Structure formats: structure tokens, C-alpha cells
Structure 1
């Protein structure tokens, strides 16, 4: 390889490394004048690396500026942290004659933040673990409820051999668990289109009307898509905890896919407000 080419490669490498080196600005100060530094956010902390440099700022009331003074001696450094976590770092030197007394520091001069983005990823991971833990708990508690036999009143509706029943309503932590049963005593399989849970409000007055508000389950456990002939299925809807006034009630709406065996089951407010 030719010497000129080698020198060129070395120069390119040195320049590339130089571009990655973080260059700190130098601020000059002395003992006869105050050098003012104005930051984009209030100063939370300011530290100098040597006693011959003093950086003062208001520690009791948030302010955007600090004052730097210096005694003759070796150069040092100044580290400033804003209230939002932005970090600024400078080389400070003593100079008898000052040409600049005020520095207006832009946010772009920040070398980083004391709260790095890694924290966000950790929080996201923690949040995902929390969701997974909730799902695991729902699964375990739903399995427990399906293994036990406990009933809350008589809540049954049927149509053409298809029977919809609410076996139980259980309160646990911050959720309501609706234990639901569907029995197919007909001669045709039942293809489930949807089973919606809504809150129905009965409007008072001369012109009585009903208004329904759909409620989205947090979790569905063993919800079937088909109930075969002579088959009974049991599953659970997990809902956020709620209570009802006496002019409201819960409506379970069972809808058949490509069929007309649709069922509505009404549950009084007193069963919602007094679950097992």
C-alpha cells in the first residue's frame, strides 16, 4: 500500500474519532466580576470541581441563572443540572481580563439527561409484566370460580332450546366476575356471534325510554364460538367494578350468528351491588 494512501486513511480515522469526542465549552471568570449563565430551565444543582471557582444560584426559589466567580489557579469544570434533568458541563478557567460576562445557554448544549430513556424502557417492561400478572391472576381465579358451585338468585332466559343463565356474580379486588352458562337443548348447533353486557337506564317521565351503554370486559375466560347439540358451556366475563342506581340494570345480549335464536337476560341492580 502506498505511503500517501496510508496517511490518508490514518487522517480519516483520526477525524472520525475527533467528531465523536464531546467538546466542552470553556467559560472564563475572575474575582472582580460576576459571569452570569442563563439556562433554559431553572437550576436545581450547580457544582464546581475546584475551590477557586464558585458558582452561586438561588437554592430556595427556582431561577434560570447562576453567577460564576474565580480565583487564580488551575482550570476546573462546572456541572449544572436543570430542574428537568438536563445536564450541562463546561471547562472553567481564570482570566484577569474578561471579554464576555453573560452566557445564554440553549437546550442544545445539554450533554444528556440524568433520567435516560432506558428508564422508560424499564417502565414499559414493568408495565408489560404487570399486565401479564393480571392476566395470570384472572385465569387462575376464573378457573377457581368454574370449579365451585355457587349461585346468585335465578337468572335464566331461553329460546328454542337454547338456555342462557348467569350462575354467579363475584366481586374480587377491583373486578366483577360474571359466571355465565349456555345450554343447547335444541337439535342444531349454536354458533355464537356475540354476547354483550350493557347497562340499561330507564328514563323517567311521560315518555319512558331506555338507553343502553355497552361495557367492555377486561378479560374473557373460555368464551366459546360454538355450542354443540346437548352441550353445556360455562365461561366468565371479568368487568371493572361498578355499581348501579335503582333506575339501572344490566342486560346480557346473546346473539346467534346467521340465526334468530337471540336472547336477552336482565339483571337487577341489587345483584350487581350485592355480589358474592
Structure 2
């Protein structure tokens, strides 16, 4: 019985919410004062459902506001269309004493658009679904990589008890997965400021110079903000697939927040071009 009861409760809540969203806001006006309505876009058209309500706006030069006046009588409705096609609908009523003379109407009050972009909506939803699927796949594959241990061997750097290790570089589909380990063997917690991955270009010749180009990960898995004393953490940077020529290399730049235990690790182009 519990699943049926839960379903009934959810159905009742949904119906109540639907009825609530259909209730239109009410705007009060009278014949002695102008009630000003300010919209997020210039007004292209404004219509009242009864002659005892008058909504005036600039028909020659579109402006953001209109003025509403009312004569005693039955309630009616006001329909306003903005320049961008947004539609606003309100109940209007006569009231001798007004407590509000200015209404600033947000775009969220729009009940729709006269030219709904159905195709764009479908495309947006499809894109969002694709992004969510990609993030889910990254998360699952990262979890798989963290369950297995495979060390590249040589890529370890230390500074005052803090050890940075590049465990693995794995290629899958169109991405490179950098499996990274940080171990804090010191007696102080390590607050991580950033860990940047950059492509470094080595210029040869008499005037040697280095140029670094930061690469933004498309996904970070289990990225820590703090490594406690005597603690080890493992996490993954997911990068778009790329390759490097022999005058390029990768630079991992580990930076401590409010500290000086910084570490730089340089990775040869060979490991990028020949991942696991």
C-alpha cells in the first residue's frame, strides 16, 4: 500500500502545483491615478478585455512602460506583448484606494512567447543530455582507473615532505586521463591552491626561452582542497586528446595556498604521444 499512497500524494502535489501556476497575478487601478507597469523589454502591444480599463503606451516609439487606468465595473484582463515576443497576462480590477502605483515586471512572469523556438529547445535539451552523459562516463571511467594501480615510474617530485607523483596517462575515446597522486608526509596539512597543467614550448637557439600555455581540464575527479598530514590522495584530470612535438612538454605546477611547498613536474612529449 505504501507505493500506491506515495504515488497518490505525488499526483495531488503535482495537480496543486499546476493549478497554482495557472493563477494570474492581479493588478489594481482606478480613475484618479496612473498605475505604471515597467517591462523587461519595450512594449509592442497591449490589450485590455473590457472598456472600463485603459492601457496606454507609446505606439510610435516602443518604450518599457505603460499606464493603466480603470473605471468602476467588473474585473477584466490585460495582455501585453514585448518586442521580443514575450507574453504577459494579468487580471485587472478597479480599486478606489490603491496601495501600489508601480509594478516592475520580471521576465520570469512571462507566460510564454508568441514564437516559441521548439527546435532550439529540443536541441538545448539534447545538448544538455549529451553533456550529462559525458560527465557520467568520465566519472565512471575515472573510478575504474583509481581502482587499478599503474605507475609510470620516473615521474615523482618532492618538496619538504610533500610528494607529487604522476601515476598514469591513459587514452580513452577522445580524452587523456592524468592519474595524479599527492602524499603529505609532513607534520603540517597541505592546503592546495592550484594544480595547473600547461604545455611548455622550449625555444632553441642563442636566446633560449620558455612559453607556457595553460590547458583547462574538461573534468576533475576527486580533486582535493586539502591533504592532511600523513595522508595520500589520488585524483584525475580529464583533458581533450592532444599530441606534442619534440620541442614541447607538459608542466604540472602544484602550488600551496599561503605556503612555499610548491612543486613543478616536467613530462616528456613521449608519454603524451604514447599513453596507456
TM-score normalised by structure 2 residue count: 0.58
In structure 1, what is the equivalent of residue 144 of structure 2?
144
1:175-200 residue CA offsets vs partner (Å, 9 max, x unmatched): 00000000000110000000000000
User: Offset of 1:153 from its aligned partner?
Assistant: 3.6
Alignment of 1:1-276 (within 5 A): 117-276=117-276
Structure 1 unaligned segments of length 5 or more: list them.
1-11, 16-111
Secondary structure, aligned partner of 1:243: coil
Superposition deviation, residue 14 in structure 1: 9.8
Mark the CA change 1:201 to 1:13 in structure 2 (over 3 Å): closer, same or farther: closer
How far apart in 2 are the matches of 1:137 and 1:169? 17
> 2-side partners of 1:152 and 1:174: how far apart?
21
Q: 2:241 and 2:233 mapped to 1: Cα distance?
A: 25
> Which stretches of structure 1, 4 residues or longer, exceed 2 Å deviation after superposition?
12-15
TM-score with structure 1 length normalisation?
Answer: 0.58
| CA displacement at 1:152 relative to structure 2 | 2.5
Residue aligned with 1:258, SS = coil
SS in 2 for 1:133: helix
Which secondary structure does the structure 1 equivalent of 2:266 belong to?
strand
Partner SS for 1:145: helix
Structure 2 CA distance for partners of 1:14 and 1:225, relative to 1, 3 Å: closer
Distance 1:226 1:14, change over 3 A: closer
CA RMSD of aligned residues (A): 1.7
**What are the ranges of 5 or more consecutive residues in structure 2 without an aligned counterpart?**
1-47, 52-113
> Match of 1:217, SS?
coil
Partner of residue 42, structure 1: none
SS for the counterpart of 1:128 is: helix
Q: Aligned partners of 1:171 and 1:117: how far apart in 2? A: 39
**3-state SS, counterpart of residue 134 of structure 2:** helix
Structure with the greater alpha carbon radius of gyration: 1
Shift of 1:149: 1.1
CA-to-partner distance for each residue in 1:23-68, whole Å, 9 max, x for gaps?
Answer: xxxxxxxxxxxxxxxxxxxxxxxxxxxxxxxxxxxxxxxxxxxxxx
